[in-house]
Amino acid sequence: MTYYSFLTAECLVLWRRKQDVFNALMFFVIVIALFPIGINSSPEFLAPAAAGIIWCAAVLAILMAVEGMFKEDYRDGSLEQLVVSGLSLPLLILLKVAAQWFVVVLPLLIIMPLLSEMLYLPRSGFWVLMMTLLLGTPSLFLIGVMGAALTVSLRQGAVLVMLLILPLYLPVIIFATLAVQAAQIGLPYAGLLAMLSALSLLFLVISPFIAAIAVKASVN
Amino acid sequence: MTYYSFLTAECLVLWRRKQDVFNALMFFVIVIALFPIGINSSPEFLAPAAAGIIWCAAVLAILMAVEGMFKEDYRDGSLEQLVVSGLSLPLLILLKVAAQWFVVVLPLLIIMPLLSEMLYLPRSGFWVLMMTLLLGTPSLFLIGVMGAALTVSLRQGAVLVMLLILPLYLPVIIFATLAVQAAQIGLPYAGLLAMLSALSLLFLVISPFIAAIAVKASVN
Amino acid sequence: MQPSASLAISDLWIERGDRDLCKGLAFTLQAGEVVRILGENGAGKSSLLKVIAGILSPLEGKIVYSGEDVTLDRSTLQQDSLYIGHSVGVKGLLTVEENIRCYYPSIAASRLASVLAALGLDDQSDALVKTLSAGQMRRVALARLWLSDKTLWLLDEPFASLDATGVALAEEQIKQHILSGGLVILTTHQDVLSFSYRDVVLLS
Amino acid sequence: MQPSASLAISDLWIERGDRDLCKGLAFTLQAGEVVRILGENGAGKSSLLKVIAGILSPLEGKIVYSGEDVTLDRSTLQQDSLYIGHSVGVKGLLTVEENIRCYYPSIAASRLASVLAALGLDDQSDALVKTLSAGQMRRVALARLWLSDKTLWLLDEPFASLDATGVALAEEQIKQHILSGGLVILTTHQDVLSFSYRDVVLLS
Amino acid sequence: MAFNNLTEFLAMGTHGAYVWSAYGFSVLALIWLVWNTLSTRQKTRNILRKRLLRNQNR
Amino acid sequence: MNWRWLHKLGSPKWFFFCFKSWALPLFCIGCFALMVGLIWGLAFAPVDYQQGNSFRIIYIHVPVAMLAQSCYLALGLSGFVFLVWQIKIAPIFIKAMAPIGAVMALIALVSGAIWGKPTWGTWWVWDARLTSVLVLFFLYMGVITLQRALEDIALANKAAALISVVGLINLPIIKYSVVLWNTLHQGATFTLTKKPEMPSEMWLPLLISVIGLYCFVAGLVLWRMQSEILQREHRASWVQQEVMENGL
Ligand code: HEM
Ligand SMILES: Nc1ncnc2c1ncn2[C@@H]1O[C@H](COP(=O)(O)OP(=O)(O)OP(=O)(O)O)[C@@H](O)[C@H]1O
Ligand SMILES: Nc1ncnc2c1ncn2[C@@H]1O[C@H](COP(=O)(O)OP(=O)(O)OP(=O)(O)O)[C@@H](O)[C@H]1O
Ligand SMILES: [Mg+2]
Ligand SMILES: [Mg+2]
């Protein structure tokens, strides 16, 4: 096994599971639709809340996607094989996260213009929202992968993952929504975006290692 | 195997997983905390949105609980054994759903006063919210179990079914949140509650059978 | 346990994915007989057992159990049969004892203890099954052979991952069963069985 | 493939749950040798293989591979070994070919085809592995034996659910491997193996 | 003493319910913590003793 | 610098015997001081002229809130110590401390919420301080579940230490973000009441109960660590001797 063949196989599996990705997307759209439908559909209500709604829905969709990331690999023994492959486990995990990130976030970004229109997100906020998603979601994935790795060997671990990682998600969500809101009312938001990037970098450095340790603990 | 011993075993497994139930509860609370933090924490925003938020989180928690309901049984062959047990498969599934419902929804109802307080849900809406949860969540479980049964072995066609299941949740959510909002502003809500009950009854009748068919299709 | 039961299968045709299996298969089984299904990997042995157990439906063919045609509705056969497949149907999160009690709720404690002792699981009756070794897990599943009152046994590689003692135990149990008039259909890649049996060969 | 590799294990002590396994076990393995781990169900064979593969850590003991002490860090051993456990490590959602390509990305198509033909999987190379029979799935995992360039093979019941042809094929492959100076540790409950081997007995 | 009699003490002005429920919960939680600690301690010792005896017999 | 003393302190056996006799006295002193502080505060401290008698909740609320934060600090620090020096006692400390911290955070939340009703007219506001205590509680739960989830002790140690440290790094980030979030738009609708010019009859019982709670927690932690040490070192002969000789 090489890093490249691992990545190829990952992508293939993701492709075979495209319906899951599609479902995550549907879920995302439905959560977002819930607000105008269930609460209030007036622009005055939606416009200021739009970024927050989109981010909450994105967080949930990402959680669903990340949570089961290692489950199948654990069951069929592929995870064991990764551990004994002699390749760097953190790097393998990073590759896996990257693949997953592409598959989940890209479609999300693509339908974003639609959704932001539906929620009356002002133009001024749109590009900042896209930026926050680009810069912020990597940390969501990187944090999530730690939780997923810790719970592979546990049945019904999905919930546990979320318990473990949602507290760590809060700063990301807060910085992101603050940035969009700041942009909407014309305040500077560059600092907040920088904070988001810093968080992503921080977790880029530490989370593969933590996840690798967790995976090793789980496969025995 | 008898119906009773099956139920006992189910309950035992759930008991072994009590940590998971607790985690599900924590998850529920965290998701609810996500919204005020991510969107807006003022009472003016939260009070009217409270029912929607709580229902959204409940749907998620239930989705998590239901989604993997048969996974473990499928893997270890228990599901096959149910099929060949000579007992009525729909009834077995119903028992399983009922056990799961108790374990997930009861704790949820217990912490509801706390959460509704955190979201500034007015007193007038609280008991209606509880009613909607009691009457509405069974249909969520019953709908979910069909999806879970169909996707146990990830057979082809799962796409279509998942797409059917997710939208089926929407009416339940809408009726429930409408009922609470109606109660908050003093409108009659009995009709909406009746709708919820009707939905639950409808699915009580059909979903065990569909789920049984799906299970049979999946175990081969 | 039903006296003098019999199973007759004729003109079978099973379809799995896009493969045709067991085409034209026919055999009968009388009380006190063992049939070993023989075939290469992928010949359709497991599929055949699943069809008989009622987990799959055949495309064509007839399955007659004790004179009753059960091709379309296998439930009378299921009432009277015991199926153990590749995945053995024990739950990892229950203990050994709880797993057995799930299938036999009203079994007396002494009987259970003696079966567990026979299987060499007595000091692990309170261990969660997921912490057992592969062979021990198989033994838990096979405990049902000791306790069953069903006539027709459908066993898919019952000796897999058992050690020699375990195989001997299970074989002994099967012998007992056929002596008392039971019917057994099993698959195994093992050569030597210590009881008399008939082979049904599946071509692939 | 490393020439004249060797493995030496001494004073082992593995703890699983609250059970002590393999206490005081010691054995060595030279190039061209096969060790069969023998023991009852639950004796700790799988645990031993996992310890050697670096999936578990021993409580005590020393593992020396080709002169290097790898007890604390098994990574050099992992570079040079092939482990196939009870769960075989093939992905149900990938096809046979994709599964193999995952482990051996740069393998030539003709080589792959010949291996699949040898394993009798040639007409199913595009089938998703989850639709295969138990024995066929095992064969997919064993394809790694044909393609591997690793020295130390750790095989946990490699012949499980294989038919006679399959067993012969796998045995042939193991024979080849030890002829060219490989090391093999395997567990099996099968009696007759067609190559010469040494037994290491685990008491339980 | 800030209160004249027991009833007044229990009533805490108009805030009796708040004060006493806060204290009640806190004290219960602390007691649970102590109970949990001590019972774990006891259980550990019992388990260890049992394991020790079993291994000695072997 | 000589680190020998640290490793010596970090050896479970040494730690066990060194602090064996400390737990009970600390616990008793803690209980006593807590009782004195609470009863004094409840019955004898003068009434606050603004809040009335509801202010008496302060005597449980503030000590507990302080402990909730100190405990996490200790958790993170010992995680750090474990990662850097591989001190064996550190993960044991984390395992013993996390549930205590969680309970402290929970009590802080509940007593604060109850206090909020008469003073602010609501049980809960999404105020920066309150929210970060809520998050703190979740972080504790995370560490606890993590410790439980992993069965391999060596790796559970490392992972729990890492997560504690991650949490420690993250805690100021959370706090900062929450403050930023809450003050940018909404403005603090409610602020915690400024510390009043307390007479000493008011703050003395508070001080006593704070000190009492620290001792109380120290005693509990030592007990829990002792159980954990015995469990982990169960193969050592000193443990077997200890278990056979001293029943409890
Ligand atoms: C759930 C709600 C609450 C939470 C989570 C909470 C949390 C905290 C925290 C973390 C501290 C800091 C302790 C320290 O380190 O000094 C604190 C102190 C304090 N809290 Fe609360 N609190 C809550 C509600 C309240 C309420 C309703 C009041 C009264 C109106 C209150 C009054 C105080 C006072 C007077 C202090 C001491 C302030 C100081 O010494 O700086 N708290 N609380
Ligand atoms: N995950 C686990 N947790 C706790 N104990 C375990 C675990 N896995 C195995 N054990 C125990 O370790 C012992 C040895 O298990 P192992 O799987 O190594 O046996 P084995 O020799 O491979 O047996 P088999 O022939 O049945 O495969 C068993 O008694 C089992 O109870
Ligand atoms: N779920 C499935 N979907 C599609 N095809 C399947 C499925 N399961 C099995 N098959 C196909 O049916 C054939 C027979 O499978 P079966 O499991 O019955 O074989 P078997 O005789 O039991 O083999 P083994 O000795 O390996 O257990 C195989 O060729 C396999 O490809
Ligand atoms: Mg088969
Ligand atoms: Mg084994």
Which residues of chain D have a CB within 8 Å of the CB of A17? 93
**Residues 86-145 (C) with a CB less than 8 A from some CB of D:** 86, 120, 124, 127, 131-136, 138-139
Atom of ligand 1 nearest to the CA of F114: 27
Greatest alpha-carbon pair distance for chain E in Å reads 69
Cβ–Cβ gap A38/B55 under 8 Å: yes
Of C16, C52, C28, the residue nearest C154 (C-alpha): C52
At F223 the pLDDT is 93
At B164 the pLDDT is 67
The ligand minimizing its distance to the Cα of C47 is 3
Q: In the numeric block, which tokens belong to residue D160? A: 């499980």
**Residues 33-52 (C) with a CB less than 8 A from some CB of B:** 50
At A59 the pLDDT is 87
Calculate mean pLDDT across residues F214-225.
94
Would you tell me how many other CB atoms lie within 10 Å of the CB of residue D107? 17
Q: What is the DSSP string of B13-79?
A: HHHHTHHHHHHHHHHHHHHHHHHHHHT---HHHHHHHHHHHHHHHHHHHHHHHHHTTTHHHHHHTHH
d(CA C114, CA C92): 22
Cβ–Cβ gap C94/B9 under 8 Å: yes
- Distance from the E53 Cα atom to the nearest Cα atom in chain F, whole angstroms: 10
Cβ–Cβ gap E2/F224 under 8 Å: no
- Distance from the B14 Cα atom to the nearest Cα atom in chain C, whole angstroms: 9
- Which of B88-92, B139-143, C192-196, F145-149 has the least mean pLDDT? F145-149
Work out the pLDDT band at E11, boundaries 50, 70, 90.
low
Q: Is the CB of D161 under 6 A from ligand 3?
A: yes
Cβ–Cβ gap A160/B20 under 8 Å: yes
Which residue's alpha carbon is nearest to atom 40 within ligand 1? F195
Work out the pLDDT band at A6, boundaries 50, 70, 90.
confident
Tell me: pLDDT of B157 over 50.
no
d(CA D89, CA D142): 10
State pLDDT tens for residues D119-163.
999 888 888 888 899 999 999 999 999 998 889 999 999 998 899
Exposure string for C139-158, b = 16+ CB within 10 A, e = fewer = bbbbbbbbebebbbbbbbbb
- Distance from the F224 Cα atom to the nearest Cα atom in chain B, whole angstroms: 21
Of C151, C85, D134, D129, the residue nearest B83 (C-alpha): C85
% of chain B with per-residue pLDDT over 70? 94
**Identity of the highest mean pLDDT range in A42-46, B42-46, E19-23, F184-188:** E19-23
**Residue C54 zone, left/alpha/beta (φ > 0; ψ -120 to 50; rest):** left
Q: Which chains touch D (3 or more CB pairs under 8 A)?
A: A, B, C
**Matching residue, tokens 């809500």:** B189
Tell me: pLDDT of F193 over 70.
no
> All domains of chain D, ordered by start, with CATH?
6-201 (3.40.50.300)
Burial class of residue D38 in the structure, from the number of CB atoms within 10 Å of its CB (0-12 exposed, 13-18 middle, 19+ buried) = middle
Tell me: pLDDT of B55 over 90.
no
The ligand minimizing its distance to the Cα of C87 is 4
Calculate mean pLDDT across residues C128-138.
90
- Distance from the E44 Cα atom to the nearest Cα atom in chain F, whole angstroms: 6
The ligand minimizing its distance to the Cα of D21 is 2
Cβ–Cβ gap A167/F135 under 8 Å: yes
Give kind and range of the element (H or E) at residue D183: strand D183-187
Q: Is the CB of F195 under 6 A from ligand 1?
A: yes
Cβ–Cβ gap B52/A75 under 8 Å: no
Q: How many CB pairs under 8 A join A and D?
A: 77
Q: What is the four-CA torsion angle of A180, A181, A184, A189, rounded to 10 degrees?
A: -60
d(CA C38, CA D163): 9
State pLDDT tens for residues F123-182.
888 887 888 888 899 889 888 887 877 766 776 787 788 788 878 877 787 777 777 776
Which residues of chain F have a CB within 8 Å of the CB of A74? none
Tell me: pLDDT of E58 over 60.
no
Q: Which residue has the higher pLDDT, A157 or B177?
A: B177
At B162 the pLDDT is 59
User: Cβ distance B101 to B24 under 8 Å?
Assistant: no
Which residues of chain B have a CB within 8 Å of the CB of A175? none
Which residues are CB-contacts of C64 (< 8 A; sequence separation ≥ 6)? C6, C7, C8, C9, C10, C70, C71
Q: Is the CB of F76 under 6 A from ligand 1?
A: no
Which residues of chain F have a CB within 8 Å of the CB of B40? 185
Residue D165 forms contact with C (CB below 8 Å): yes
Q: Which residue has the higher pLDDT, F180 or C43?
A: C43
Atom of ligand 2 nearest to the CA of D17: 4
Q: Is the CB of F4 under 6 A from ligand 1?
A: no
State pLDDT tens for residues F97-129.
999 999 999 999 999 988 888 888 888 888 878
Of F115, F224, F234, the CB nearest to E18: F115
How many secondary structure helices (H) and strands (E) does chain E include? 2, 0
Tell me: pLDDT of A201 over 90.
yes
Q: Are E and A touching by the rule of 3+ CB pairs within 8 Å?
A: no
Number of domains in chain A: 1
User: Cβ distance C87 to B80 under 8 Å?
Assistant: yes
Candidates B41, B46, B111, partner chain F, best to mutate (most F CBs within 10 A): B41
- Which of A45-54, C127-136, D63-72 has the least mean pLDDT? A45-54
Which residues of chain B have a CB within 8 Å of the CB of D130? 153-154
At F198 the pLDDT is 66
Which residues of chain F have a CB within 8 Å of the CB of B23? 145
Q: Which residue has the higher pLDDT, A64 or C46?
A: C46
The ligand minimizing its distance to the Cα of B219 is 3
Calculate mean pLDDT across residues A3-10.
85
Q: Is the CB of F66 under 6 A from ligand 1?
A: yes
Which residues of chain D have a CB within 8 Å of the CB of C50? none
Work out the pLDDT band at A157, boundaries 50, 70, 90.
low
% of chain D with per-residue pLDDT over 70? 100
d(CA A153, CA A150): 8
Which residue's alpha carbon is nearest to atom 2 within ligand 3? D131
Residue A201 forms contact with F (CB below 8 Å): no
d(CA E45, CA C12): 63
Calculate mean pLDDT across residues D20-27.
88
% of chain A with per-residue pLDDT over 90? 15
d(CA E22, CA E16): 10
**Matching residue, tokens 């009699």:** E5
At D136 the pLDDT is 93
Residue type, A20: D
At F92 the pLDDT is 93
Tell me: pLDDT of B158 over 50.
no
Atom of ligand 3 nearest to the CA of C204: 29
User: Cβ distance D141 to D126 under 8 Å?
Assistant: no
Residue F163 forms contact with A (CB below 8 Å): yes
State pLDDT tens for residues D70-79.
988 888 888 8
At F195 the pLDDT is 53
At B99 the pLDDT is 93
Nearest CA in chain E to F96: E37
% of chain C with per-residue pLDDT over 90? 49
Tell me: pLDDT of E20 over 80.
yes
Calculate mean pLDDT across residues D108-124.
91
User: Cβ distance F96 to F221 under 8 Å?
Assistant: yes
Tell me: pLDDT of B206 over 60.
yes
The ligand minimizing its distance to the Cα of D156 is 5
Calculate mean pLDDT across residues D84-90.
83
If DSSP codes are grouped into helix, strand and coil, which group holds residue C29?
Answer: strand
d(CA A215, CA A80): 9
What's the half-sphere exposure (Cβ side, CA atoms, 13 Å) at F147?
A: 21
State pLDDT tens for residues A67-126.
778 877 887 778 877 887 778 899 999 999 999 898 888 888 888 888 888 888 888 888
Of A33, A49, A163, the CB nearest to B26: A163
Which residue's alpha carbon is nearest to atom 18 within ligand 3? C44
What residue numbers bound the domain in which B59 lies? 3-219
- Using CB distances shorter than 6 Å, the residues near ligand 2 are C 131-136, 161; D 16-17, 19, 21, 39, 41-47
Tell me: pLDDT of C152 over 90.
yes
Q: What is the DSSP string of F24-81?
A: HHHHHHHHHHHHHHHHIIIIISPPBTTTBGGGGGHHHHHHHHHHHHHHHHHHHHHHHH
Residue B118 forms contact with F (CB below 8 Å): yes
Which residue's alpha carbon is nearest to atom 22 within ligand 1? F112
At C113 the pLDDT is 93
Which residues are CB-contacts of C85 (< 8 A; sequence separation ≥ 6)? B77, B80, C46, C49, C50, C156
**Matching residue, tokens 């933590």:** A210
- Which of B38-42, C173-177, F151-155 has the least mean pLDDT? F151-155
Report in angstroms the alpha-carbon separations of F52 from B204, E11, F108, F127.
54, 12, 20, 23
Work out the pLDDT band at F189, boundaries 50, 70, 90.
very low
At A156 the pLDDT is 56
At C87 the pLDDT is 85
Residue type, C145: L
State pLDDT tens for residues A158-185.
677 777 788 888 889 888 988 888 888 8
Q: What is the DSSP string of B78-102?
A: HHHHHHHTSS-HHHHHHHHHHHHHH
Tell me: pLDDT of B38 over 60.
yes
Calculate mean pLDDT across residues B46-70.
82
Across chain B, mean pLDDT equals 84
Which residues of chain F have a CB within 8 Å of the CB of E2? 43-47
Of F143, C92, F106, the residue nearest B17 (C-alpha): C92
State pLDDT tens for residues B179-200.
988 888 888 888 999 999 999 9
Tell me: pLDDT of F186 over 50.
no
Cβ–Cβ gap F186/B26 under 8 Å: no
Calculate mean pLDDT across residues A198-209.
90
Angle of CA points F97, F102, F103, to nearest 5°? 100
Would you tell me how many other CB atoms lie within 10 Å of the CB of residue A87? 18
At D18 the pLDDT is 73
Length in residues, chain B:
220
If DSSP codes are grouped into helix, strand and coil, which group holds residue C186?
Answer: strand
Work out the pLDDT band at B18, boundaries 50, 70, 90.
confident
If DSSP codes are grouped into helix, strand and coil, which group holds residue C187?
Answer: strand
Q: Which residue has the higher pLDDT, C116 or B64?
A: C116
Q: What is the ipTM of this complex?
A: 0.73
Cβ–Cβ gap C105/B1 under 8 Å: yes
